[in-house]
Amino acid sequence: MCDGELVYYLYCLTPSARELHVSAIGVDGRHPIFARGCGGIGAVLSEVERGEFCGDAAEARLEDLEWLGPRVCRHEAAIEEVMRQTPVLPARFATLFTSIDALEQSVLERLDAIGGFFAQLGDKQEWAVKGLLSRTDALKPPGSSGRLAGEAQTGTQYFEEKRIKAHWERDLTFRLKEFRRRAATALSAHAEGFRERKVLDSVTAGTDVETVLSWAFLLPPGALDEFRGRLESFNGGEALPGLKLTLTGPWPPHSFVPNLSLVEKI
Q: Comparing 199 with 189, which gets the higher pLDDT?
A: 189
Residue 167's Cβ-side half-sphere holds a number of Cα atoms within 13 Å equal to 9
Provide the number of structural domains found in the chain: 2
264 found inside a domain = no
11 found inside a domain = yes
Q: What is the pLDDT of residue 154?
A: 66
262 Cα distance to chain centroid: 20
Residues 107, 43, single domain; the answer is: yes
For residue 149, the domain's CATH number is 3.30.70
Q: How far apart are CA 16 and CA 40, in angstroms?
A: 6
Average pLDDT of the segment spanning 43-68: 88
Residues 84, 137, single domain; the answer is: no
Of 122, 152, 183, at which residue does a domain stop?
122
- pLDDT tier at 151 (50, 70, 90 boundaries)? low
Average pLDDT of the segment spanning 21-44: 93
SS (H, E, C) 87-153: CCEEEEEEEEECCHHHHHHHHHHCHHHHHHHHHHHCCCEEEEEEEEEEHHHHCCCCCCCCCCCCCCC
261 found inside a domain = no
Q: Select from 47, 8, 80, 23 the least CA-distant residue to 254.
A: 80
235 found inside a domain = yes
130 found inside a domain = yes
260 found inside a domain = no
The answer to whether residue 39 scores a pLDDT higher than 90 is: no
Residues 112, 210, single domain; the answer is: no
Residues 129, 247, single domain; the answer is: yes
Say what the pTM is: 0.83
Q: Comparing 86 with 134, which gets the higher pLDDT?
A: 86
Q: Comparing 135 with 132, which gets the higher pLDDT?
A: 132
Q: Provide the domain limits for residue 98.
A: 6-122
Q: How far apart are CA 22 and CA 42, in angstroms?
A: 13
Query: Which of 53-57, 138-142, 159-163, 214-218 ranks highest by mean pLDDT?
Result: 214-218
The answer to whether residue 193 scores a pLDDT higher than 90 is: yes
Q: How far apart are CA 144 and CA 20, in angstroms?
A: 60
Strands (E) across 145-190 are located at none
Residues 108, 227, single domain; the answer is: no
65 found inside a domain = yes
Residues 168, 99, single domain; the answer is: no
Q: What is the pLDDT of residue 149?
A: 46
The answer to whether residue 53 scores a pLDDT higher than 60 is: yes
The answer to whether residue 82 scores a pLDDT higher than 60 is: yes
Residues 135, 111, single domain; the answer is: no
Residues 238, 130, single domain; the answer is: yes
The answer to whether residue 231 scores a pLDDT higher than 80 is: yes
The answer to whether residue 146 scores a pLDDT higher than 60 is: no
Of 122, 151, 167, at which residue does a domain stop?
122
Q: Select from 144, 156, 134 the least CA-distant residue to 243.
A: 134
The answer to whether residue 147 scores a pLDDT higher than 90 is: no
Residues 109, 39, single domain; the answer is: yes
- pLDDT tier at 1 (50, 70, 90 boundaries)? very low
- Mean pLDDT, the chain, integer: 86
Average pLDDT of the segment spanning 177-191: 94
Average pLDDT of the segment spanning 56-85: 92
Low-confidence winner among 176-180, 191-195, 213-217 (lowest mean pLDDT): 176-180
234 found inside a domain = yes
Average pLDDT of the segment spanning 12-41: 92
Of 75, 106, 122, at which residue does a domain stop?
122
Average pLDDT of the segment spanning 35-46: 93
Residues 41, 148, single domain; the answer is: no
Residues 110, 10, single domain; the answer is: yes
- pLDDT tier at 125 (50, 70, 90 boundaries)? very high
Q: What is the pLDDT of residue 121?
A: 96
4, amino acid identity: G
Q: What are phi and psi of 68, to 5 degrees?
A: -70, -40
The answer to whether residue 132 scores a pLDDT higher than 50 is: yes
The answer to whether residue 178 scores a pLDDT higher than 70 is: yes
> In angstroms, what CA-CA distances link 67 with 27, 33, 37, 56, 96?
11, 20, 31, 15, 18
Residues 221, 206, single domain; the answer is: yes
